Chains A and B, each alone.
Chain A
Amino acid sequence: MENLADSLLVDKSKTIEGWGVDADPSNNPTYPMKHYTGADHQRLAYERSKQQMPREEVLHSNERPGITRVFGTSSPPSGLSGQLRRYAFRFSEGSSAHWLTLLAADRVNVVEGIFDDLRRGHIPNIFKERGWNAEWRYNRKGVIQKAAVGAVLATAAVTFLILRNRRKKSV
């Protein structure tokens, strides 16, 4: 027990018969990923960095008291998706309300992104963004097959509608 850094714990060994006699750091399933760095209350008093100053809104998990010393500044919450994200952060990381609301916000954000592009005078080339150039280069057969299946289905649907309309009219 002599290498126990924590005086509190040493005291425990005096009052609790057999306390820690079988302690074996190498019998730690997290070994060697984790090193013994003192008892819990000692670890919590660590030297914290200066605080990065938020310029825009930063949401934080309600499982911590505030923001971390540094954080990312990409895409701050905005619009309807932002409102959904703010709502999501009322719930803990353990709740589905948190994550499912965030996923919903992500989908709303995609639509906002298209409007945002248009507002900036940029018409998004969705085919290019989806990498269809590469698809055409490396999977031409697949693209043609898909297009053919699409065309057959579309023709079938149109034919069906026309026939149905005719039948209705003739009734």
Chain B
Amino acid sequence: MLAMNYRGPFRVRADRNKPDPEILHPRDAVVRVTRSCICGSDLHLYHGLVPDTRVGMTFGHEFTGVVVELGSEITNLKVGDHVLVPFNIACGSCPFCQQELYGNCHESNPEATAVGGIFGYSHTAGGYDGGQAEYVRVPYADIGPTVIPSGMDLDDAALLTDVVPTGYQAAEMGGIQKGDTVVVFGAGPIGLMAARCSWLFGAGRVIIIDHLDYRLEFAKQYAQCEAYNFMKDMDDPVVFIKKTTDYFGADVCIDAVGCEAAGSSLQTITGRKLMLQAGSATALQWAINSVKKGGIVSIVGVYGPTWNLVPIGNVVNKGITIRANQASVKRLLPRLIEHVMAGRLNPKGLITHRVPLEEISDAYHIFSAKRDNCIKPMLIPDSASVAA
């Protein structure tokens, strides 16, 4: 089959000779992919920052597809069902799944206990080949895959596998109370969705911070929020946020940037060049320093497994609560499907590039280098159009 093939940092291609996936467990399904996205998380892999990213792996954790084969224990799906597949691989019965912490399953990732299994996300997340391919093996298919409701746009369905739940959970973890001021760092797909969802929780003011003007312009429309450029509109983002909140700070700060943050040479050099820390923690540092005393910092940006330079003393002195996780997609899906069907959320509005799977090298480069005003690229395999 045609599948993305990782060859090393900044080098990916689509190859035709990858063997089709098989059923390897009675709770598996094999799905023919109809839509597949590239995520900001994939960029951390693409840039070679995630340990145990092996050459030959196929990435991709945001996909929809048609069920073509089912393991013997799957009774809630049938061949031909068109499903959206949450990015978390979750067993449904371990202590964490029982608590609806589907992003923290204990039975899907042998390589690391700190991370649940994720499709196409290195061996540190279980070593699964992902959905940037024509076919993909879906373990625990009785738990994750959700039949796409009739009338739902396929592009919306694809974004319900990660971007929408992650953005929503970022806001939810912020514990936003009516009237709260929320600052979102990062105007990528995740930050945009977090800003949009902050309103759903009753925020009084939503501010988004980035350094890419085209994304900030997009944010003003898409998330109806204030948008500022940390390179142009301010000297020091922390002072800027303090000033704009009567010198108190924001009630809630959301880190939707993660380990490849720009904005501080110390963080960038130690984190991204010398790799003395697990990426640069600039956005998190700003979030901690610009939140109000007693405020909440919600982290969905991804960091590496080693360590990062963050002002933990300020967390103590300001009495900050930090909440963070991989999104628990399955827990949130029922509510989010309602929001999308009711038109309250417009996920597909984020997609700026629709690219054939064959041209994956270009798609990665465009998204990584932020060319052509890219917000969110989507890959469409040839085989998707045959019967979809």
Known: A33-B173, A71-B110, A110-B7. A131 touches B366 (CB 8 A): yes
A117: chain B residues at CB < 8 Å are 7
Residues of A near B371 (CB, < 8 A) are 134-135, 138-139
Chain A residues within an 8 Å CB radius of B140: 49, 70
> How far is B365's CA from A96's CA once the two chains are assembled, in angstroms?
30
Please judge, given known A-B contacts A34-B101, A71-B110, whether A44 and B52 are in contact too, CB under 8 Å.
no
How far, in whole Å, are A55 and B280 apart by their CA atoms in the complex?
Answer: 38
CA–CA, A135 to B173, complex, Å? 38
Report if A29 contacts B (CB, 8 A).
yes
Docked pose: A57 CA to B369 CA in angstroms? 36
With known contacts A43-B95, A68-B109, A93-B113, A74–B8 Cβ distance under 8 A: no
Q: With the chains together, A107 CA to B8 CA distance in Å? A: 8
From residue A121, how far is it (CB to closest CB) to chain B in Å? 12
CB-based contact B54/A69 at 8 Å: no
Q: Which residues of B are found within 8 Å of A88, using beta-carbon distances?
A: 52
- Quick one: which of A103, A130, A134 has the most chain B CB within 10 A? A134
Chain A residues with CB under 8 Å of B128's CB are 71-74
Which B110-167 residues sit within 8 Å CB-CB of chain A? 110-114, 117, 123-124, 126-129, 139-140
Residues of A within 8 A of B275 (CB): 103
Q: Does B78 contact A (CB under 8 A)?
A: no
A99-B369 CB under 8 A given contacts A106-B52, A133-B362: no
Shortest Cβ gap from B17 to chain A (Å):
9
> Which B residue's beta carbon lies closest to that of A95?
B306
Whether B117 and A105, one on each chain, are in contact in the complex, defined by CB atoms closer than 8 angstroms, is: no
Q: Please report the C-alpha to C-alpha distance between residue A115 and residue B287 in the assembled complex, in whole angstroms.
A: 45
Q: Which residue of A lies closest to B11 (CB)?
A: A129
Residues in chain B near residue A59, CB distance under 8 A? 110-111, 123
Complex interface residues of chain A between 63 and 102 (CB less than 8 A to chain B)? 63-64, 66-75, 77, 81, 85, 88-89, 93, 96, 99-100, 102
Check A106/B13 contact, CB under 8 A, given A48-B93, A72-B129. no
CB-CB contacts below 8 Å: B308-351 with A? 321, 323, 325, 328, 331
Sorting the interface of chain B by its residue count into under 10, 10 to 19, 20 to 34 or 35 or more gives 35 or more
In the assembled complex, the CB of A87 is this many whole angstroms from the nearest CB of chain B, namely 13
Q: With A64-B110, A68-B106, A126-B11 as known contacts, state yes or no: A34 contacts B366, CB within 8 Å.
A: no
The answer to whether B66 has its CB under 8 Å from any CB of chain A is no
B113 and A70: CB pair below 8 A?
A: no
A167 close to chain B: CB less than 8 A = no
Q: How far is the CA of A151 from the CA of B22 in the complex (A)?
A: 51
Nearest residue (CB) in A for B364 is A131
Q: Which A residues touch B93, using CB under 8 A?
A: 46-49
Q: What residue of chain B has the Cβ atom nearest to residue A102's Cβ?
A: B51
A50 within 8 A of B: yes
Do A99 and B305 contact each other (CB < 8 Å), given the known contacts A44-B95, A49-B140, A106-B51? Answer: yes
- Using A46-B94, A75-B127, A130-B10 as known contacts, say yes or no to A138 and B110 having CB atoms under 8 A apart: no
When distances are taken between beta carbons in the complex, the residues of chain B under 8 Å from A134 are 361-363, 365-366, 371-372
A129 to B8, CA, bound (A): 10
With a CB–CB cut-off of 8 A, which chain B residues contact A46? Answer: 93-95, 98
**B178 / chain A contacts, CB cutoff of 8 Å:** none
Q: Are A128 and B110 neighbours in the complex by a CB distance under 8 Å?
A: no
Report the minimum CB–CB distance from A133 to chain B (whole Å): 5
A106 CA to B48 CA, complexed, in Å = 8
Give every chain A residue within 8 A of B110 (Cβ-Cβ).
58-61, 64, 66-68, 71
9 A-B pairs with the lowest CB-CB distances in the bound complex, closest first: A131-B365, A72-B127, A72-B128, A110-B8, A113-B55, A134-B362, A102-B51, A43-B95, A75-B54
Beyond A67-B110, A70-B25, A74-B127, 11 additional pairs, beta carbon < 8 A: A68-B107, A70-B89, A75-B54, A75-B127, A100-B51, A110-B7, A113-B56, A128-B13, A129-B11, A130-B365, A134-B366
Q: What are 5 A-B contacts defined by CB distance under 8 Å?
A: A44-B95, A105-B52, A113-B56, A131-B364, A133-B362
